[in-house]
Amino acid sequence: MKLTRLRSLALAALLSAPALAVQSLAAQTLDPKTLTLFHQPADVWPTYHGDYSGRRFSEITQINQKNIAQLKTKWKYKITGIPPLRGSGPLVIKSTPLMVDGVLYFTIPDHVFAVDARTGKEKWRFDFEDHGGHVLGQRGVGMYGKWIYFLTPDGWFISLDSATGKERWRKKVADEKLQYFTTMAAVIVKNHVIIGIGGDAMDVRGYLESRDPETGELQWQWWAEPLKMGDPGSETWPNQAAMDHGGGMTWLPGTYDPELNLIYWGTGNTNPVFAGQGRKGANLYTDSIVALNPDTGKLAWYFQASPHDTHDWDNVETPVLFDMEIDGKPRKLLAQAARCGYFFVLDRTNGKYLVSKPFTKTANWAKGIDERGQPIPDPGKEPHVDGSMVDIATGGATNWPPPSYSPQTQLFYVNASEGYSVAYLYDTSSDPQGYGGGSSGWFDPASSLIALDVKTGDVKWKHTAKGLGGEGGMSGGILTTGGGLLFTGDSRRLAAFDSANGKILWSEKLDSSMSNGPSTWVLDGKQNVIVGAGDTLYALTLDGK
């Protein structure tokens, strides 16, 4: 109803004002119908992942295996007039731009950009001055009707007018003095703006919260640990204090199944990070995939990827939703390639596992899996004073850049780090705090694009980048398309692979390594591929037209 009213206002303005002024002020409005689990309309990219599934698969076929050689840069938008950000140096676009009514909305920490999708010309820019918090990344904005939602390093939740970039209101959602910070692209589900937070420098609790899109007021909060002893899950903690300092940040956008009315979210590593002796037990619900009701924030089910984590294996990687027939029965599934090195495929109605298998080396930190498919940590491979060698690199087997699932190939794709590291325990006291240890090394390093069979967890194909360090290696997230293509970054180039077999079909040099998840949409009958690399956003089309 509100949308209709806004449109008629825009129409009134069109009739009464000079055309030019109207063009610059007309509100871009997101039609809620474009928010789908699968099959979003081709002329819009309405959320961080494009649709609610997190598959990052587009059905568009205009650019395909036959004509990929003609793909050319149509325009570049380079960020200018913003100095390097404190603490993180050069400007890096990690956000996936939304595209609504011909306008792209994307971010870096402290800044929102609205750029004409046809020309790459800036429409408006919103500049924010933070007072603390961490500026290491910003994943993008959320949109509801004509309103844009943006999160700042110091925990402000800001609503902007999509037509002008003018601020509507701001609400504080995280306290930077507790070392919380916000980097997420807010996820809009019905009339809920869902916000996660980061910050594990101070042993605080993770939480996820829902806010009203009109007023910004809090609707619900879900905490990553049980609130008090006796609550379900508290039996996995030794005491209240350990639970209150347990971490479990929610810093990447989750996914949503409208039919089941469940949101799916990854929770971050447990705190203290490497020293686990003061928090004996599995430490729920850190390092888990959780399914929550978006109207109430109530937990429906959980699956813990790294019980009693002592390796900093933040389990926030995208829980990707897809449907598939297995043994003749249609199944609603969820897959995650986790930082702990395991690939999980779960039934998303109840969290029961179908696949739980290492996807890089052997994931030797675990002794195997339990009856629920959850890895069983090996105490012998916890960090030790004299070191404990783990066959996963420091930083994990994968990280935040978005993976992809293609229903065409039925393969799940992830950019992975392969290698070995040694985990050391520093703090041997009975009540350690903070990091309490560390991981050293990325020994025998390899950077690989891995295609996983979702029925078995087997590696179908793997492309290992030859170059590493500096400009080498795989970079950014992954997009697959109906044209049989997979787009990702490889050795400072944007590369298109054959999604069936991993063969490189085309590549083009970028000014720096690809730094975000690629996206695609059709405008004026032309398919565009959009990628961010460092401080520059690129639009590519066939023949650059």
Partner 1 sequence: MRRVMLLCGGLAVAAAAAWIGESVSSPRAEVHAAQAAPAATPEMLAKIAEGSSQFQQKCSFCHGRDAGGGETGPDLTRSKLVLEDVNGNKIGEVVRTGRAGKMPPFDLSSAEMDAIAAFIHAQQAKAKAEGGRRGVNVEDLQTGNVAEGKAYFEGAGTCAKCHSATGDLAHIATKYQGLQLEQHMLYPRDAKSKATVTLPSGQVVSGTVQLHDEFFLGIVLADGTYRSWPVDKIKYTIDAPHEAHAKLFPHYTDADIHNLMAYLQTLR
Active site residues: 312
Length of the chain as a residue count: 545
- Distance between CA atoms of 463 and 459, rounded to whole angstroms? 11
Residue 544 lies near partner 1 (rule: CB under 8 A): no
Bond from prior residue into 144 cis (ω within 30 degrees of 0): no
Residue 69 lies near partner 1 (rule: CB under 8 A): no
- Distance between CA atoms of 403 and 289, rounded to whole angstroms? 16
Beta-carbon-side half-sphere exposure of residue 114 (alpha carbons within 13 Å) = 26
Binding segment (CB under 8 A) for partner 1, from list 41-49, 111-119, 198-206, 454-462: 198-206
Q: Which is nearer to partner 1, 54 or 437 (CB)?
A: 437
Residue 380 lies near partner 1 (rule: CB under 8 A): yes
Indicate the SS3 state at residue 338: coil
Among residues 22, 42, 389, 522, the one that binds partner 1 under rule CB under 8 A:
389
Query: How many CB atoms are closer than 10 A to CB 185?
Result: 28
Alpha carbon 233 to chain centroid distance? 26
Residue 211 lies near partner 1 (rule: CB under 8 A): no
Which amino acid appears at position 465 of this protein? A
Q: Which is nearer to partner 1, 17 or 227 (CB)?
A: 227
Number of residues lying near partner 1 (CB under 8 A): 68
Q: Which is nearer to partner 1, 155 or 213 (CB)?
A: 155
Among residues 467, 501, 511, 544, the one that binds partner 1 under rule CB under 8 A:
467
Q: Which is nearer to partner 1, 160 or 363 (CB)?
A: 363
Residue 177 lies near partner 1 (rule: CB under 8 A): yes
Q: What is the DSSP letter of 85?
A: B
- Looking at the DSSP bridge assignments, the partners of residue 72 are 541
Q: Which is nearer to partner 1, 39 or 228 (CB)?
A: 228
Among residues 6, 22, 202, 459, the one that binds partner 1 under rule CB under 8 A:
202
Residue 275 beta carbon to partner 1: minimum distance, rounded to whole angstroms? 10
Residue 88 lies near partner 1 (rule: CB under 8 A): yes
Residue 379 lies near partner 1 (rule: CB under 8 A): no
Residue 53 beta carbon to partner 1: minimum distance, rounded to whole angstroms? 30
Nearest CA to 287 out of 277, 296, 276, 298 is that of 276
Q: Which is nearer to partner 1, 135 or 187 (CB)?
A: 135
Which amino acid appears at position 415 of this protein? N
Residue 328 lies near partner 1 (rule: CB under 8 A): no
Residue 420 lies near partner 1 (rule: CB under 8 A): yes
- Distance between CA atoms of 537 and 277, rounded to whole angstroms? 46
State in Å, rounded, how far the first CA of the chain is from the last one.
Answer: 38
Q: What is the DSSP letter of 181?
A: B
Residue 493 lies near partner 1 (rule: CB under 8 A): yes
Which amino acid appears at position 267 of this protein? T
Give every CB contact of residue 69 below 8 A, 6+ residues apart in sequence.
505, 506
Q: What is the DSSP letter of 22?
A: H
Of residues 359-378, those binding partner 1 (CB under 8 A): 361-362
Q: Which is nearer to partner 1, 37 or 91 (CB)?
A: 91
Query: Is-contact 183 153, C-beta < 8 A?
Result: yes
Where does this chain bind partner 1 (CB under 8 A)? 84, 86-90, 132-134, 136, 174-175, 177-180, 201-205, 207, 223, 225, 227-228, 241, 243-246, 361-362, 380, 384-389, 391, 420, 422, 424, 426-429, 433-435, 438, 440-441, 443-444, 465-467, 470-472, 490-491, 493, 495, 504, 507
